[in-house]
Amino acid sequence: MKNVIKLVTRWIIPLIGSVVALALIFYLYRGLDYELILTGLRKANPWWITMLATTILLEQLINGWKWRQILYDVKPISSLRLTGAFLAGYGANVLVPLGISPLVRSWLIARLEALKMATVLTTTIIARFLDGVVFALFAGVVVVVGKVPQIGGNLELGLSIAGALNLVLFAGLLWLMFRFRAFFAREEPLICRLFDWVATRFRADGAALRASLCNGVVWPRGRLRRIAVILGAVASKIVSATHFLWAGLAVGIVLTPFDYLFLMVFAGFSMVLSRFVRIPGGFVIGSAFAFRLLNVPDEQALLMILFNHVMSIFLVVVIGLVILWQSGIDIRNVQTKMKSGDARV
């Protein structure tokens, strides 16, 4: 029975998702003029493609700087090192496509800085939840201020509901983390005893792991660093929204500022939804559909998506794999280190 479940979850469901994704992509681009695509590819402006590459790396640098502000009271770490850990995590996702990026970046920083992996991992979760809150606020801005394209259904209402759910979910999770931090560190509560019992089943020290996790529930004590965390989360989304600006300029497409925000929000929700239903290529499918709503010609839209997607993979993933190789990291050890809550070697 276990082998059947493993076969279904690891192979059959992803295979069905891949077939659905390919069918959607072929449906969206069934009338492409390939000669026009090749012409656009040859005439693409290299200056704007360079700008795209620069902003892709800039987004990761901002994420590293934001993470530094959260980690600062645990241990000051350079933004470049944290950015490298971000890239290494993305690189690891190529080798082991199971969403282990936060684990790898946490283990790498804990290993290099002599910290507990569980502590570092908790700070990455805080950063992720904060990004979810900021993303929801951008969705609200698009709905309230921007002109959302209209289709058969009420897209504006859909984005409003999705943004509201996103905001409630991530803001609520952040509140729970800080509200029950001290409670989770105690020995008496039933949930803590259950956690320790489960940890022993994996040969881990539950009390030590809980302590490490709680030590990572931190918020900058300095006012300027608190502001910097928020500004970093907002800035990374703004920079992300400009990726299609530079890709569009490379092929002669210019949209309004709120169109770029709409593209970021719609593609972001599509990517999250596709991961939930196990369909790959959510970013490509969501972006393609959003470009259709904005009446961008399919050929230019596809080039913009490919420039963005391929450049992201080439820069972020390749650099991340190099960092992993230089660090001598063995991804197979992540689970073992996580059980003990310690990444020191």
pLDDT 10s digits, 14-71: 555 555 555 666 666 666 777 888 888 888 999 999 999 999 999 999 999 999 999 9
From first CA to last CA, the distance across the chain in angstroms is 38
Is 70 exceeded by the pLDDT of residue 341? no
Q: Where are the beta strands (DSSP E) in 79-218?
A: none
Average pLDDT over residues 112-119: 90
User: Alpha-carbon distance 312 to 237, whole Å?
Assistant: 15
User: Alpha-carbon distance 201 to 197, whole Å?
Assistant: 7
Instruction: Choose between 332 and 326: higher pLDDT.
Output: 326
Q: What is the pTM of this model?
A: 0.84
Q: Give the pLDDT confidence score for residue 344 in this predicted structure.
A: 45
User: Alpha-carbon distance 322 to 311, whole Å?
Assistant: 16
- Whole-Å CA distances, 179 to 97, 182, 183, 219, 332: 33, 8, 8, 12, 34
Q: Give the pLDDT confidence score for residue 131 in this predicted structure.
A: 93
Nearest to 124 by CA among 99, 144, 101, 143: 101
User: Alpha-carbon distance 211 to 277, whole Å?
Assistant: 34
Q: What is the DSSP letter of 150?
A: P
With cut-offs at 50, 70 and 90, classify the pLDDT of residue 235.
very high
User: Alpha-carbon distance 102 to 127, whole Å?
Assistant: 11
User: Alpha-carbon distance 229 to 234, whole Å?
Assistant: 9
Report whether 281 contacts 25 (CB < 8 A): yes
Share of residues in the chain with pLDDT > 90 (%)? 34
User: Alpha-carbon distance 86 to 100, whole Å?
Assistant: 12
Classify the C-alpha dihedral 318-56-248-309 as positive or negative. Answer: positive
Q: Which two tokens stand for residue 249?
A: 């300029």
Rounded to an integer, what is the distance from CA 125 to the centroid of its chain? 11
Is 70 exceeded by the pLDDT of residue 339? no
User: Alpha-carbon distance 105 to 249, whole Å?
Assistant: 34
User: Alpha-carbon distance 109 to 117, whole Å?
Assistant: 8
Share of residues in the chain with pLDDT > 70 (%)? 79
Q: What is the mean pLDDT of the chain?
A: 81
Q: Where are the beta strands (DSSP E) in 28-179?
A: none
- Summarised one tens digit per residue, pLDDT across range 158-217 is 788 888 888 999 999 999 999 988 888 888 888 888 888 888 887 888 888 888 889 999
User: Alpha-carbon distance 288 to 265, whole Å?
Assistant: 13
Average pLDDT over residues 242-271: 90
